Amino acid sequence: METLAKRKCRPCEGGAPAYSAQQAGDLLKQLKGWILEDGKLVKLYPFGNYHHTMAFVNALAWISHREDHHPDLAVGYNQCRVTYWTHAVGGLSENDFICAAKCDALFEL
């Protein structure tokens, strides 16, 4: 089975339903440290300093551009909070989980 981090995001088609709580919960099991908060996928990444935080943010921006799926970021001196939610479906989609897995892969580098 192909891991989430190896998949590519697909454009969300108009009218596609958001994932149910069950579907989101099943995919959440494939991610480490992510939580569901107010129907959104969220994780806080810690760093040793501002330089490392910004390097992560810039690399994540590049990944997000390539996947055409963009998170909300809250950036501090030594942390970055990443939030995914698919506006086109009004909830969570597979793209959110794919990008979350790519975030984790980036963080492990």
In this predicted model, what pLDDT tens digit does every residue of 29-88 receive, in sequence order?
999 999 999 999 999 999 999 999 999 999 999 999 999 999 999 999 999 999 999 998
CB atoms within 10 A of CB 102: 22
Q: Which pLDDT band holds residue 9 (cuts at 50, 70, 90)?
A: confident
Per the structure, the count of domains in the chain is 1
d(CA 103, CA 59): 9
Give me the CATH number covering residue 78: 3.30.1360.20
Quick check: is 10 in a domain? no
| pTM score, whole prediction | 0.91
pLDDT at 29 (0 to 100):
95
The answer to the question of residue 84 being in a domain is yes
Q: Specify if 5 maps to a domain.
A: no
Domain residue limits at 41: 24-108
Q: Which helix (H) or strand (E) holds 66?
A: helix 50-67
Collapsing DSSP states into helix, strand and coil, what is residue 30? coil
Assigned domain for 101 exists:
yes
